[in-house]
Chains A and B, each alone.
Chain A
Amino acid sequence: MIEQNNSNYLLEMKNITKNFPGVKALADISFYLKRGEILGLLGENGAGKSTLIKILSGDYSLEEGEIFIEGEKKVFSSPHESIASGVRVIYQELNSFDSLTVAENIFADNIIQNRLGIVNWKKMNQKAKEILRNLGSQISPEEYVENLSVGGKQIVEIAKAIRRKAKILVMDEPTSALTEKDVENLYAIIRKLKSDGVSIIYISHRIEEIFEITDRVVVLRDSKKVGEKATSDTNRAELVHMIVGRDLSEQYKRKEIKKGGVIFEVKDLNYLDRLKEISFSVREGEIVAFFGLLGSGTHTLFSVLFGDKKKTSGAVFVEGKKVDINHPATAKLNRMGYIPYDRKEEGIALGLNVKQNITSTNLGKIGRGFMLDKKIENSHAKNWFGKLNIKAPSIDTPAKSLSGGNQQKVVVAKWLEKNSKIFLMSEPTRGIDIGSKAEIYEIAENLCTQGASVLIVSGELPEILSVSDRVIVMKDGRIVKEFITKNTSQEELMHFATA
């Protein structure tokens, strides 16, 4: 027997509750989604958004509550069943097959073949092309996916979902790695899908996007639903208030920090053909931002500076002394610390607990000689755990159960533990919630008051303008222009990054 429910709604999730050992991850959450509607799902990291989505996608089993799709009750015991019901999640980390063509990706689970089991390329390319053109995209079905930009890969993922007749598309932070132009492209596609009757659950930390693209918003906080509004009936301040549960000053305001002498200097640095003639210097107490579009070399620059990639030529000076950094260990010795772009794969070891991550940079000091002293370890870890306000049950909590913002604080703590003075932060607030963002900025600022320097790569211009003293704009592996932050604007920076 099929249970029926209000079939005006394409999707309805009712009284969803989910418990993990020791934590209530979702408490009695209900929401609906109409046909052709774009619903913004908001909330700090750890608020329960991903858990909710994983229940919808069949990754987590449903314990309490009900899911209805087109009025029909559904129980998903695997992602396949969810996909078959028309649900498709496009994750932040795209899982496309880079070494295959666009058409192969779109038809990955259902390659078109003739009766002998031989691939019918012509038909498959033709059909892939139809789907892409329908989305308003000019990508060639015969292109290899590895040659596409992040935005292009995303479109391929969407095309894949459309081919499987997806009715409900969940997009998790779709714009976090996109250039402005790709974002516009994506919006156009989303609007097209909407007009075709596809419904979209849109997860983003960027409030501007919510106003730009969504019809309605649902806000989660501490595992509960705290708000539901038509987007046109709300405003930024109200949303921020719902998300963080307190008022947050709109933009982060900087203190004036006294600058010291030059602590870090780079002269004529080259790396293969990806970085060319990079020269700049940073003073004590300074926050210098690097801005550039995808492929501009900002991320590469940081991996080279930290010794993860070996520079081709050029010189680096720390406190006036020339240093040859050919391994992160050397960078560490020179009191540099690195907060990598890919937090989960490069920043934090998810299999270790909080304390083991924090002390991982500084084992030399945790006990005498060869011995590891657990007491010293605990006291060191507790120190940063408290100072950085890391929200977790204890220092023995596995890193993987922390929210993104708290994981990032652990990564920062690693380098504070090592007493670093020059911090390289690659998109330090990527994918983390508003509250934690502000805390990360505050940490960066406090570091500077204590005579440290911070280098930040960021793609978010408002962030750059509010935290940095200087901005260095990069394009095609070169520095194109340098600005004093207070003398420049978003438009000007964007102009030089794209010009």
Chain B
Amino acid sequence: MDGKSLRKSSFKLTDTLILFIALIVLVVIFSAIRVEFFSYDNISTMLKNMVITGILALGLTPLMIARGLDISFGASISFTGVLMAYLYNLGFGLPYCLILGVVAAVLVGFINGLLIEKFDLIPIILTLGMMSILSALGLVISEGHSLSMLTDQLYYFATKTFLKIPIALFILIVFIIIFWFILTFTKVGRTIYIIGANPKVATLSGIKVQKVRILLYTFMGLVAGVASIVMVAMTGVGNPLAGAKMSLPVLSAVVLGGISLAGGAGSVWGTIIGVLIVSVIFNGLSVINVPSYFIQVFQGLALILIVSLYEVRNQRAARR
């Protein structure tokens, strides 16, 4: 596995293992507290809810390995969803709505990348600004309400199963395969890891770092667009607040999976396990009837805890 061999190979393997064990322990605990947790219905609901978090976390993975960051994806989902529903209600055909929505999201990603790279801006600040703009635009278009967008095709996609597996889940699986393939077997993947290891060295090796990163931001836009379609399909509305709560679980999942904010490290499998753990915690706490506000407290605490643990570990490793 290339993503692992790139940095601290021996540590990484055990990291993934530790996370995997943590995942199983969590599942056992929640099942012990409430048997319903391990029921088919609950597991399939959980996996379905995981699709959006999962594809967003995957989109962030290469971007963050290359030392980029985007926190505007939640707002981008809201905006794109509202835009698609708005166009649909104006009478546009479904394919046009979806395509225009995705194009808008891609454009947002491209603008993020272009501004960050050309003006050498700090990604978290620029995308914070973008987040604010997109949320507001979503509210303007929708006048603050959810716009309905119920179509047979989207309903089918959101509710039907194939071999008892929700169809939406297949989208996530396709994304996993694509990202794993790119990061592990392609030159682009390697380039991303080189940039993450040291952008200056990458530039002086003749790699067009800015271009690659702009591409990754644009790709993140595409991912947000697709996530938005899944969101609209599952809820039947373009909701201007739908994406607002996505940032925290997605970022938690990615960081939990071993992607360092300093770049260079991380892998698709780490991210996926991170997403699974975050989903299990969220779903498990709901199943055992913890009030949803408390769940958010837990999420915040979990993120802080994860970052601290990794930081302590890194400092130990540096000191040996």
Residues of A within 8 A of B (CB): 20, 59-61, 306, 308, 327-329, 331-333, 338, 340, 345-353, 356, 360-361, 363-364, 366-367, 370-372, 396, 398, 414, 418
B221 to chain A, nearest CB (A): 21
Known: A351-B264, A356-B190, A372-B190. A328 touches B185 (CB 8 A): no
The secondary-structure label for the interface of chain B is helix
A244 to chain B, nearest CB (A): 28
Cα separation A418 to B319 with both chains bound (whole Å): 36
Known: A351-B264, A360-B205. 7 other contacts (CB 8 A): A329-B208, A332-B205, A333-B206, A338-B204, A345-B201, A350-B198, A371-B186
Residue of B nearest to A79 (CB): B319
Q: Is the CB of A360 within 8 A of B5?
A: no
Partner pick for A59 among B191, B205, B319, CB 8 A cutoff: B319
Check if A328 sits within 8 Å of B206, measured CB to CB: yes
Q: Are B203 and A308 in contact (CB under 8 A)?
A: yes
Q: How far, in Å, is A232 (CB) from chain B's closest CB?
A: 39
CB distance from A191 to the nearest CB of B (A): 35
Whether A61 and B206, one on each chain, are in contact in the complex, defined by CB atoms closer than 8 angstroms, is no
Are B7 and A351 closer than 8 Å at their CB atoms? yes
In the complex with contacts A351-B197, A396-B5, A370-B206 CB distance below 8 A:
no
Instruction: Determine the distance from Cα of A59 to Cα of B190 in the docked complex, in whole angstroms.
Output: 33
For B198-217 the 0/1 string (1 means CB < 8 A from A) is 10111111111000000000
A347 CA to B189 CA, complexed, in Å: 21
Which chain A positions have C-beta within 8 A of B189? 372
Q: Which listed residue, B186, B190, B197, B204, touches A308 by the CB 8 Å rule?
A: B204
Using CB atoms, name the residue of chain A closest to B182.
A370
Contact B5 A353 (CB under 8 A): yes
A370–B198 CB distance below 8 A: no
B56 to chain A, nearest CB (A): 24
Query: Chain A nearest CB: distance from B185 CB in Å?
Result: 6
| B193→A328 contact, CB < 8 A | no
Pick from B188, B194, B320: contact of A349, CB below 8 A.
B194
- Return the chain A residue nearest B198 by Cβ: A349
In whole angstroms, how far apart are the Cα atoms of A349 and B207 in the complex? 13
Prevailing SS type, chain A contact patch: loop
CB of A328 within 8 A of CB of B203, answer yes
Contacts A/B (CB < 8 Å), 18 sampled: A61-B320, A308-B203, A331-B206, A338-B204, A345-B198, A346-B200, A347-B201, A349-B202, A351-B264, A352-B197, A353-B6, A356-B190, A356-B194, A366-B187, A370-B188, A371-B185, A371-B186, A372-B187
* List of B residues within 8 angstroms of A366 by Cβ: 187
Partner of B201, one of A349, A396, A418: A349
In the complex with contacts A366-B187, A372-B190, A349-B206 CB distance below 8 A: no
Question: A64: shortest Cβ distance to chain B, in Å?
Answer: 14
Contact A352 B6 (CB under 8 A): yes
Contact between A414 and B190, CB atoms less than 8 A apart = no
For A61, list chain B residues within 8 Å (CB).
319-320
A175 to chain B, nearest CB (A): 26
A55 to chain B, nearest CB (A): 11
Given the known interface contacts A331-B206, A348-B201, A360-B202, the answer about A372 and B194 at a Cβ–Cβ threshold of 8 Å is no
Closest-CB distance, A419 to chain B (whole angstroms): 13
Residues in B whose Cβ lies below 8 Å from that of A345: 198, 200-201
In the complex, the answer to whether A372 meets B186 with C-beta atoms within 8 Å is: yes
Report the nearest A residue to B263, measured CB to CB. Answer: A351
Tell me if B200 and A361 are in contact (CB < 8 A): no
Q: A20-B320, A353-B6 are in contact. Are A346 and B201 (CB under 8 A)?
A: yes
Q: How far is the CB of B201 from chain A (nearest CB, A)?
A: 5
Residues of chain A with a CB closer than 8 A to B185's CB? 371-372
A364 to B186, CA, bound (A): 11
CB-based nearest A residue for B210: A327
Q: In the docked arrangement, what's the CA distance between A352 and B202, Å?
A: 11
Taking a contact as CB atoms under 8 Å apart, the answer to whether A370 and B187 are in contact is yes
Q: Check A351 against B204 for contact (C-beta < 8 Å).
A: no
Give the distance in Å from the alpha carbon of A151 to the alpha carbon of B190 in the complex.
40
CB distance from B317 to the nearest CB of A (A): 11
CB distance from A231 to the nearest CB of B (A): 34
